[in-house]
Structure 1
């Protein structure tokens, strides 16, 4: 296969918007029938409050069905002679990102995107959209494009309101804070929102595919260096009435040894304190 094929990418996108999203909608809706729900899909819905890992918690039969469904946009362009390596990689990355994003329980998409480009609301879901599916069960069945919920009248009426309220948020002051900083360039992927298999073995860097994510690791370092103007929360736990959080200073080990970085690092620490 060639590295890139524009026609194949277009075909892949159309196949996802059309057959994949449509079939997923009706398959997902069928899974909520009491017969299938009690035997299969209820396992996934045990997570009322979702996390990114919830995206891959399914019984084997469901996982197999999703695997076959998501292979359609990759296999058909290859069969037609328009497949490409980068097209397959980007489609897999898109699926992983969109599934994790929808279950992360905080909004990544700013409001202005939907205001300036209203059709986006039909082609891109939000975490608040999917959270309603896990709390109300009978609405918001679409995979990542709510267009079919609008067409078949299963869109939860409180979706937009919840999105607005989520953006405003509520300010909570933690009782306990663990202030730390990033270590190696690959430490980002040891977080729970990174790669699950890597996060489960934080002291083991000898994974064969780790070298493949070095470009992304370097990019995340540059972004943290340029835009990291304050500590950020990577984990928040609540034990009865006690809230505990882990805050990370957006600087890596090697940056602490740079004289020119000392002032900015001290400022970040003081600001966090």
Structure 2
């Protein structure tokens, strides 16, 4: 028999998924009805409830964006940990409270007109009354309830532990709690607003100001970024009892036996539950701002594919970034914002940090060059892009980072010769520059069945194409190399051993592969060109972007990638279209370089003799092919 669920532990619409947003339907329908009839929409309570809900989402999102822009907030972080997929999934429905309070607000709006005049836009007396009621009633009531939830093991385990299951406090953590807790929070929030209305001081601004400030302070306390300079509390000591800090609330999450207040530490002082480390720790974090930045061992230097995929970063829509990238409906309204933001980043930032994770007790960052994929193919943009990549390499060298790996187009042969340009310009670099293509070649090769005797290779004279062709010919696999340049083909053929050269065959047309059912695609091919493949062909590929899955009678491989070990900590976003915990092979190649402690640069042409060495090292460190 299944265990009985405790009353009010789960939300009524818990199993509704995204359909829960249909609960806003009645409000939107009423607004639409008024608009259709030509009546005033702005004076409708349904409109104001919907607007207020939107603003509450915006506050939470803006706080999330700020505290997860590591290039802005990393020097003031309290816990130097990243949010993982488990926490993101646990907090997926953090916004349930907004839906609940929207309905409670609708009920109140129908009741309160009989008590007071809600047509008033502003009444300062109401704001003052609400502030007094909040300080004298809501604050101690919250403190007492919160302390009770911790002191009673049943209440904590059944209800409050849901909130504390998030190891890294985030703005979305603030409202992730059991249904019962938010019913009690409605009461706590309602007392100042209803109280001010009952004494005749109600106004529209009272609702907006109180609710939005309440949300702002809750998000701030859970931001994991210390936003207050310690000098404020040294100059005005009494302030430390009137407003909490993120450090103050963070101690509650890490130690759980102190700092129970809502926003005012005064009640912890009166209740003898104030953590004595609160202000000293806050001062240390404030003093060390700009000094306590953790230096990663490894950096993956990525770039943006297009404007819509630029939104697929953790500091934008966290839930979206935690899933493989795909075009979704909500991207369209965010497109202009992303476009404007990218112009700002071009002007302001050379690179910026988007995520980090820990593996084998080493910190690994992903930095992004604020350039779109199409820019890499514009001749006049070459110098600017190389300057930004070079700036990132020199920054990494100055910081003491050991390995920097170049992603996709950042190592384009036409751009910088696969990274050779930077190593030549700076021969004394301590940071190792790595293109990671050796592991990309290894992953692609190991996807090909051992019994295959013939393959068709496009992009055959590229760095990867050359390495794959030379490796396969050693296995006595006949390689049909598609290229119109006989000179480049012969140059590669001469690199092979004399007894292997016969396995490398130049072809100039796709029709030459009409009887070959193993294609390795290193150059984008059109649906028309895919028609040349026989039925049953499998398309392996190392081309960016991937080719279209046009043929129904053929199969298509994914881009070369590897799955990170299970003990990787702090993974909370997907790398472009990759699944959770999966990274591009070039990213994994740089990671292996770092884990192995290799001291050579991996730039320019791929050393075919190292393909097996790198592959075995990757497997030894727990990375697995996808």
TM-score normalized by the length of structure 2: 0.35
- Number of residue pairs matched by the alignment: 258
1:82-132 deviations in Å (ceiling 9; x for gaps): 222233222222122211211121201111221222221011111211121
Equivalent in 159, 163, 172 of residue 294 of structure 2: 172
Structure-1 separation of matches of 2:295 and 2:158: 42
Q: In the TM superposition, what is the alpha-carbon distance from 1:242 to its structure 2 partner?
A: 4.0
Provide the secondary structure at the position in 1 that maps to 2:260: coil
Rg larger for = 2
Residue pair 2:133, 2:192 contacting (<8 A) in 1 also: yes
1:119-166 deviations in Å (ceiling 9; x for gaps): 210111112111211222111100111110111211011112221232
Structure 1 position 7 matched with structure 2 position 125:
yes
Equivalent in 238, 243, 246 of residue 124 of structure 1: 243
Tell me which moved more, 50-59 or 79-88. 79-88
TM-score normalized by the length of structure 1: 0.73
Relative contact order higher in (CA < 8 Å, ≥ 6 apart): 1
Equivalent in 272, 284, 291 of residue 153 of structure 1: 272
Structure-2 separation of matches of 1:100 and 1:176: 30
Structure-1 separation of matches of 2:264 and 2:385: 41
Equivalent in 46, 49, 56 of residue 175 of structure 2: 56
Aligned twin of 1:95? 214
1:221-247 deviations in Å (ceiling 9; x for gaps): 7xx78x957765454333443434455
- Structure with the higher helix share, 1 or 2: 1
What's the RMSD between the two structures over aligned residues? 4.0
Structure-2 separation of matches of 1:178 and 1:48: 28
TM-aligned CA distance change 1:85 to 1:36, over 3 Å: same
Residue pair 2:259, 2:273 contacting (<8 A) in 1 also: yes
1:218-273 deviations in Å (ceiling 9; x for gaps): xx97xx78x95776545433344343445578x899xx9xxxxxxx9998876555
Residue pair 1:105, 1:127 contacting (<8 A) in 2 also: yes
Residue pair 1:180, 1:246 contacting (<8 A) in 2 also: no
Gaps of 5+ in 1: 257-263
Q: In the TM superposition, what is the alpha-carbon distance from 1:63 to its structure 2 partner?
A: 1.4
1:146-201 deviations in Å (ceiling 9; x for gaps): 110111211011112221232316221232245668x98xx89x876677788889
Runs of 4+ in 1 over 4 A off after TM superposition: 177-181, 190-207, 227-234, 246-249, 264-273
TM-aligned CA distance change 1:114 to 1:230, over 3 Å: farther
TM-aligned CA distance change 1:119 to 1:272, over 3 Å: farther
TM-aligned CA distance change 1:191 to 1:116, over 3 Å: farther
Gaps of 5+ in 2: 1-118, 376-383, 394-626
The equivalences for 1:1-273 within 5 A come to: 1-33=119-151, 34-167=153-286, 168=288, 170-174=292-296, 175-178=298-301, 233-246=353-366, 272-273=392-393
TM-aligned CA distance change 1:193 to 1:138, over 3 Å: farther
TM-aligned CA distance change 1:79 to 1:196, over 3 Å: farther
Structure-2 separation of matches of 1:228 and 1:91: 35
